[in-house]
């Protein structure tokens, strides 16, 4: 490791991770290539599967207690309450797919999101209710 950096194992046994972010509850939320959303309650704790069976999921972002997932062709919204995620409705549909798809999702200070689409970086903005 370069000077000033350190590394440690936070969690294991999650498969291929495609995105992660800490939620408003301080837990680590992870999206896997297998189409699952997992949560790691604390460093070294075993992951818990909250959602499974998603199409290819490559990005996640939080806005307050709402989790937005970038999944193949759409953006889905979930709400966190009492340690559980509910909802899952598509808030954006019909994103272009083919050889590439939507991937990362980045919350902006004004409440919109930037969404990456394809390998040549087409950037768009979305707003939600």
Task: Give me the residue spans of the domains in the chain.
Answer: 17-126
Nearest CA-CA partner of 128 in 69, 41, 53, 81:
69
Confidence of residue 99 (pLDDT cuts 50, 70, 90): low
Outline where the chain has alpha helix (H): none
Q: For 36-58, what is the mean pLDDT?
A: 93
Residues 101, 87: Cα–Cα separation, whole Å: 23
Confidence of residue 129 (pLDDT cuts 50, 70, 90): low
CATH superfamily assigned to domain 17-126:
YVTN repeat-like/Quinoprotein amine dehydrogenase (2.130.10.10)
Q: Model pTM?
A: 0.82
Quick check: 59 pLDDT over 60?
A: yes
Residues, the chain: 129
Torsion sign across C-alpha atoms 7, 9, 11, 17: positive
Quick check: 122 pLDDT over 90?
A: no
């Amino acid at each position: 490791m370069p000077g000033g950096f350190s590394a440690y194992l936070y969690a294991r046994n999650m498969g291929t991770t495609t995105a992660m972010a800490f939620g408003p509850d301080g837990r680590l939320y992870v999206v896997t290539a297998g189409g699952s959303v997992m949560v790691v309650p604390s460093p070294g704790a075993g992951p818990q599967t909250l959602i499974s069976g998603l199409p290819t999921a490559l990005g996640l972002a939080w806005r307050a207690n709402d989790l937005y997932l970038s999944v193949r062709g759409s953006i889905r919204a979930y709400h966190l309450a009492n340690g559980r995620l509910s909802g899952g409705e598509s808030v954006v549909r019909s994103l272009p797919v083919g050889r590439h798809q939507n991937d990362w999702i980045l919350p902006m200070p004004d409440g919109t999101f930037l969404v990456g689409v394809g390998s040549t970086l087409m950037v768009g903005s979305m707003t939600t209710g």
